[in-house]
Amino acid sequence: MARNARALRQKDLAALVDRADTTVSKWESDDHEQRPDAVALSRLANALNIEVSWFFKPTGEAQGAAFFRSLKSELGRMRDKAEAKLSFVEEINSSISEYIDLPPVDIPDILDGRDFRTLRNADMDHYANALRDYWNIGHEPIEDLLLVIENAGIVTAHDEIGSNKLDGVSRWGLDERPYMLLARDKNVGARRRFDAAHELGHIVLHRHVTPDDLKSNFTLIEEQAMMFAGAFLLPEETFGSEVYSLSLEALCNLKPRWKVAIAAMIKRLSALDRITPEYERRLWQYYSYRRWRGCEPFDDELPVEQPQVLSNAIQMVLDENLCTRSDLIRQIGLPPADIANLTGVSEHYLAPPPQNLVRMKPAIRSRVQIGDTSNVVSIAAHRNKD
């Protein structure tokens, strides 16, 4: 996990700890009894920038699948990195949960046992509206989507993954709590919201999907999450009634209110059959002509929503003196930089306070003592007397 989080191959790590490639392979394999000795553990910790205690943490394997936008082979290491970082988030939450109760999980089983393979496009609107109704958030634009997600008990974090083709990863954890990691590689508010809604779709619709199911039905599963995200962010009843024109200018005017990319609006209108395939192609041509694929209007103005729960929990633990900074970092087993990047808490805040030491200063002798040699004994004279 630590090696994947650093995007290292086994041979890369072997070189860093001065061991053979096969040795590292055996360390990581359940089929071999070979384990690192004390010297190797210290080198591993230094090479991977983690505490030695990290290697002694109990581990388990989640039964559910981890969801990504792409399964292309060239992105394998980046997927491993993102999933490992999501496991880091689980470990952070596990340590914090010894002191703090996070919001309880409040995700309804809206499929009620239905096989995800039977879902159709029209079902996405039904389930998206059902979730909005369950959370009682109405059908207007959502002011802060990450706030809604975290209030539902979904532990959310963010970090740079290293690829613009992987926008995030999500899965249900060993503790029956859903986890979500959003990529900060594309730091655009409208895209971040859609990425979060996309991962929410996986959490809600694909809770019981196994890794084998994901491999066999990857395209279908991704399409469902994409459709759910559009339906959840842009309900037909309200968003549809506000589309006064099917032009790019009209969609651009709606973007600040709905905080959704114009590209996502075009796809949503297509899903609602508000535009024909021919007209959709024309919109995409105009869209490309205006060079909006890299940067849309208002992208630099809409705020990027930030996860808050883990950061607030860490600050509560430390401010209430439930645990010292050094003890909390040791319990988690990760360096402050990782904790800060994932949770949003300041790395400076995680630094242990300076020791309570006061430097003593020299003191000037009083005026009575200055020049008064009557009580001063000469060391030389004392020696001669002896």
Name the amino acid, one letter, at 2: A
**pLDDT > 90 in the chain, percent:** 72
Distance CA 152, CA 349 (A): 27
pLDDT score for 62? 65
The 10s digit of each residue's pLDDT in 170-216 is 999 989 999 999 998 888 999 999 999 999 999 999 999 998 999 89
DSSP state of 320: T
What are the two backbone dihedrals, phi and then psi, of residue 181, each rounded to the nearest 5 degrees? -120, 120
Q: Please state which CATH class domain 1-56 belongs to.
A: mainly alpha
Task: Return d(Cα 165, Cα 186) in angstroms, integer.
Answer: 10
- How far apart CA 334 and CA 92 sit, in angstroms, is 9
User: Judging by DSSP bridges, how do beta strands 155-159 and 168-172 pair with one another?
Assistant: unpaired
Quick: pLDDT tens for 306-338.
999 999 999 999 999 999 999 999 999 999 999
Task: Assign 57 a pLDDT band (cuts: 50, 70, 90).
Answer: confident
pLDDT, tens digit, for every residue of 269-309? 999 999 999 999 999 999 999 999 989 999 999 999 999 99
Which amino acid belongs to residue 36? P
The pLDDT of residue 70: 65
Q: Where in the chain is the domain with CATH 1.10.260.40?
A: 1-56
Distance CA 160, CA 167 (A): 10
The secondary structure of 188-251 as a DSSP string is: -HHHHHHHHHHHHHHHHH-TT--HHHHHHTHHHHHHHHHHHHHHHHS-HHHHHHH---SSHHHH
Q: What is the pLDDT of residue 164?
A: 73
* 3 three-class SS: helix
Task: Convert the pLDDT of each residue in 58-82 to its tens digit.
Answer: 877 666 788 776 666 667 788 889 9
Cα(348)–Cα(345) distance, integer angstroms: 9
N- to C-terminal Cα separation, the chain: 74
Q: How far apart are CA 53 and CA 46, in angstroms?
A: 12
Q: pLDDT, tens digit, for every residue of 209-262?
A: 998 999 899 999 999 999 999 999 999 999 999 999 999 999 999 999 999 999
- Interhelix angle for 262-271 vs 277-289, to 10°? 170
Q: What would you report as the CA-atom Rg of the chain, rounded to the nearest whole angstrom?
A: 29
Q: Give me 235's structure tokens.
A: 């309900």
DSSP letter at 377 equals P
